[in-house]
Amino acid sequence: MTTATQTKYEAIIGLETHCQLNTNSKIFCSCSTNFDSPPNTNVCPVCLGHPGVLPVLNQEVLNSAIKMGLALQGKIARYSKFDRKQYFYPDLPKNYQISQYDLPIVENGQLEIEIVDPKTQEVTKKIIGITRLHMEEDAGKLVHAGSDRLAGSTHSLVDFNRTGVPLLEIVSEPDLRTGQEAAEYAQELRRLVRYLGISDGNMQEGSLRCDVNISVRPVGQKEFGVKVEIKNMNSFSAIQKAIEYEIERQIEAINEGEAIVQETRLWEEGSQRTISMRSKEGSSDYRYFPEPDLPPLVINEAQLEEISKTLPELPANKRSRYEAEFGLSAYDARVLSDDKDVASYFEAVVANGASVKGAANWITQDIAAYLNSNPDLDINKIALTPEMLAELIKLIEEGTISGKIAKEILPELLEKGGSPKEIVESKGLVAISNPDELSTIIDKILAENPDKLEQYRAGKTKLQGFFVGQIMKATSGRADPKLANQILNQKLNG
Ligand SMILES: [Zn+2]
């Protein structure tokens, strides 16, 4: 290693995120936004850019943009407008995109993210600035025939169904420093749009697309290094890995005396590296000008008030409330509030009388595992209702059944539902908590294992576990564990 490697570097990272809204119709016409439709069936003269047609703004798009702006604690413009961004590409029938340029609908927001230490699960919070949020229309989609990439294909087909689908573009300040922070930022954005119900936020299907801008500089240096853009990441882990790779690559290049080229790079999932796509000299000149076919947007206070009343409790607020109200750790609060429906389920289980700890454990462990192995299910679709889970937890907490028995009947409850109490009674699974009955069983086990008993009394106290195992075996897991241990202790040491 050369001495240059001793220099400490830091990465400066900003994200540009495109979020596809889930409105029924497109942003400027009444065409459907349905994605399962055959190619070029959700099109009309407006979204195909025929001469003489007039776009009309879908009010739902503006409402969604304002909701997101409020959720990001941004400044909502009282006066805003649309602009034409001119460029030529085969998937853009008008040869311009209607977007927003100098007067975006939202500016100066912020997003609180949580960084979890992977080893200790300790959570630290950080505020990331949001430069702006604006509305725009999506372009169409090119399908390269004969190959899944442009190179190697024989010809390309264009599908205009996506043309005019509404997008929010959200631009962060360059406040992110690591791949983990960037991935967490994108995840928190997804939580927000899902909580607000304005997008499904699905990265694999392209509803949430992130472009990363990244440069490195020696720690202490004020000027930014040369910025590289990375595209093509379709998962949070890909964002993290692409950034980590790129930081290494840039530091290595600087240490070797190479100049960083301003360019766009693609993340290659297969080889786990970024590759150069095209160099980017200066910023493109899109010749923006105000869209003459759409009136400027004037937002009044009453409208803002109306929309702000519809906002649900947001993820960060829910996390703080879970810590304060339920005494959960920051980590558990985070896991339970990640999905809005899981959070509602959890709150319903607690409201039905289960302990917070019990509800949290069952939901984050057994039920989460079940949902993971059944990706088509979500928590609202399982047969085990919050009331039933609360009943099950209470049966354990009252000592009627052991946790082991509860786990045994759980698969049936998840598939078919039913009253845990009735299932336990009809199957004769109620715990044995009669001291005389347990005492007889334990006496028999000790009598059957004289060698083990002798070893125990000679100091091999680890054998207690063996005896507990035998008790559970003899009672098919029905022995009240606390009581059984107590009696066993008396007999072993008495
Ligand atoms: Zn249309």
Full pLDDT tens readout for the chain, 494 residues:
444 446 799 999 999 999 999 999 999 999 999 988 999 999 999 999 999 999 999 999 999 999 999 999 999 999 999 999 999 999 999 999 999 999 999 999 999 999 999 899 899 999 999 999 999 999 999 888 877 666 778 888 999 999 999 999 999 999 999 999 999 999 999 999 999 999 999 998 899 999 999 999 999 999 999 999 999 898 999 999 999 999 999 999 999 999 999 999 999 988 999 999 887 666 678 999 999 999 999 999 999 999 999 999 999 999 999 999 999 999 999 999 999 999 999 999 999 999 999 999 999 999 999 999 998 899 999 999 999 999 999 999 988 888 888 999 999 999 999 999 999 888 888 888 889 999 999 999 999 999 999 999 999 989 999 999 999 899 888 888 888 999 999 998 87
Gap from CA of 415 to ligand 1 centroid (Å): 44
The model's pTM is 0.86
Gap from CA of 419 to ligand 1 centroid (Å): 51
Q: What is the DSSP string of 4-71?
A: GGGS-EEEEEEEEEEEE---SB-SSS--B--SSSPTT-S--TTTTT-TT------HHHHHHHHHHHHH
Task: Using DSSP, state whether 137 is helix, strand or coil.
Answer: strand
Contact 228, 263 (CB under 8 A): yes
Gap from CA of 23 to ligand 1 centroid (Å): 13
Gap from CA of 28 to ligand 1 centroid (Å): 7
* Cβ neighbours of 10 (radius 10 Å): 17
Contact 167, 19 (CB under 8 A): yes
Q: Which candidate, 215, 165, 207, places its Cα nearest to that of 189?
A: 207
Please give the pLDDT value at position 282: 60
Amino acid (1-letter code) at residue 239: I
Q: Which domains does the chain have, with CATH numbers?
A: 12-214+281-303 (no CATH), 318-427 (no CATH), 435-493 (1.10.10.410)
Gap from CA of 89 to ligand 1 centroid (Å): 19
Gap from CA of 31 to ligand 1 centroid (Å): 4
As a whole number of angstroms, the distance between CA 79 and CA 105 comes to: 8
- Sequence-distant (6+) residues with CB within 8 A of 214 are 11, 12, 13, 227, 228, 229, 230, 243, 246, 247, 250
Q: Which candidate, 83, 86, 187, 87, places its Cα nearest to that of 128?
A: 187
As a whole number of angstroms, the distance between CA 494 and CA 480 comes to: 21
Gap from CA of 59 to ligand 1 centroid (Å): 15
Amino acid (1-letter code) at residue 2: T
Contact 172, 113 (CB under 8 A): no
Gap from CA of 19 to ligand 1 centroid (Å): 20
As a whole number of angstroms, the distance between CA 294 and CA 82 comes to: 7
Gap from CA of 162 to ligand 1 centroid (Å): 10
Please give the pLDDT value at position 1: 45
To the nearest 10°, the Cα dihedral for 375, 197, 206, 264? -130
Gap from CA of 30 to ligand 1 centroid (Å): 6
Please give the pLDDT value at position 481: 82
Gap from CA of 49 to ligand 1 centroid (Å): 9
What's the DSSP call for residue 271? T
Residue 393, judged by CB atoms within 10 A of its CB (0-12, 13-18, 19+), counts as buried
- Sequence-distant (6+) residues with CB within 8 A of 245 are 267, 272, 273, 274
Task: Using DSSP, state whether 213 is helix, strand or coil.
Answer: strand
- Sequence-distant (6+) residues with CB within 8 A of 417 are 383, 384, 385, 388
Gap from CA of 165 to ligand 1 centroid (Å): 9
As a whole number of angstroms, the distance between CA 124 and CA 117 comes to: 8
Gap from CA of 41 to ligand 1 centroid (Å): 10
Gap from CA of 86 to ligand 1 centroid (Å): 20
Gap from CA of 384 to ligand 1 centroid (Å): 43
Please give the pLDDT value at position 244: 97
Gap from CA of 82 to ligand 1 centroid (Å): 18
